[in-house]
Amino acid sequence: MKYMGSKSRIKAHLLKFISEAIRTSGTNVFIDPFCGGCNVVDEVQCAHRIASDISLPLIELFKALVRGQELPVSVSKDLYDDVRKNRYTGKYPQWMVGAVGYLASYNGKMFGGLADTIKTKGGVRYYYDEAKRNIEAQIRRLIDVKFECCDYVQYSDYQGAVIYCDIPYAGVTQYAESKKFDYDRFWNWCRHVSKNNIVLVSERNAPSDFMPRWSLEVTRTLIGRTVGVKAERLFQLM
């Protein structure tokens, strides 16, 4: 699962193709089965929007925020460590596990290490506070979204929808939820659902029967330095 901000630099391009697909198809259903941080679905204009992910804490976090749940003002190391230790015991509700596990972790990687304060050239960054303010501002754009925790195959029988899939990229380090992602199963599923829906897939590469509808070279940086250039692509079955 690619989480917070993973699509920020290419979002406008993606929304252009998604919006065009919604308009030309005349559909009133948009499905985002790999919603992650909801950084695409929050801007999609469609009567019925569905966002899902296999991470229960993530989905419960969004559901709780839509209901008006307030986030912790801050996350201490003691709280972070205790929530991580007890995330499966029931001591904390799943929305709280999601809030601490994602928002307080560096780069939004679930319990990938507490992101506290980081000194930069411009001063000090407070990562949890930034993530908290960002998701609180975002939630007003997600009020009418239907959130579901499920596998993408749940949407196999839909007809007439636009489905956008931001899958875990093959050949890169994955988060825990996506380490066992079955790419053959996914692409076969795409072939099946594409018979009755418009399916758009974000990846770097795809099987030969999928056509790249859009591509952009994106420079990747780490702590202010360039670490490589990768192509972001949007595929559709030919």
CATH number of the domain residue 22 falls in: 3.40.50.150
Residue 45, classed as helix, strand or coil, is coil
29 and 60 in a single domain? The answer is no
Contacts (Cβ under 8 Å, ≥6 apart) of 205: 170, 233
- What is the spatial distance between Cα 107 and Cα 77, in angstroms, rounded to a whole number? 17
For residues 34 and 108, membership in a common domain is answered with no
Calculate Rg over the CA atoms of the chain. Answer: 18
* pLDDT tens sequence for the chain (238 residues): 343 344 667 899 999 999 999 999 999 999 999 999 999 999 999 999 999 999 999 999 999 999 999 999 999 999 999 999 999 999 999 999 999 999 999 888 999 999 877 777 777 778 999 999 999 999 999 999 999 999 999 999 999 999 999 999 886 544 555 568 999 999 999 999 999 999 999 999 999 999 999 998 766 544 444 545 678 899 999 9
Same domain, 170 and 212: yes
Residues spanned by the domain of 38: 1-54+150-238
User: Which residue is it, tokens 């959130």?
Assistant: 147
In a domain? residue 213: yes
- What amino acid occupies position 178? S
Same domain, 136 and 60: yes
The angle formed by the CA atoms of residues 137, 47 and 36, to the nearest 5 degrees, is 45
First to last CA, the chain: 26
Alpha-carbon distance values, 5 to 10, 80, 85, 168, 182 (Å): 10, 22, 27, 14, 24
**Cα(230)–Cα(213) distance, rounded to whole angstroms?**
16
Residue 28's identity, in one-letter code, is N
Is the same domain home to 170 and 231? yes
Q: How many domains does the chain have?
A: 2
Report H helices in the chain: 11-25, 56-67, 77-85, 94-98, 127-138, 183-193
One domain for residues 61 and 49: no
Same domain for 190 and 162, yes or no, is yes
Residue 172 counted as domain residue: yes
Statement to judge: residues 23 and 105 lie in one domain: no
Does residue 170 fall inside a structural domain? Answer: yes
Say if residue 156 is in the same domain as residue 238: yes
Residue pair 189/151 in contact (Cβ under 8 Å)? The answer is no
Residue 61 in any domain: the answer is yes
Do both 164 and 214 map to the same domain? yes
- The two tokens of residue 92 are 């904390």
Give yes or no for a contact between 171 and 179, defined as CB atoms under 8 angstroms apart.
no
Q: How are beta strands 146-149 and 48-53 bridged, if at all?
A: parallel
Residue 215 lies in a domain: yes
Q: Is residue 145 part of a domain?
A: no
Residue 143: count of CB within 10 angstroms of its CB: 8
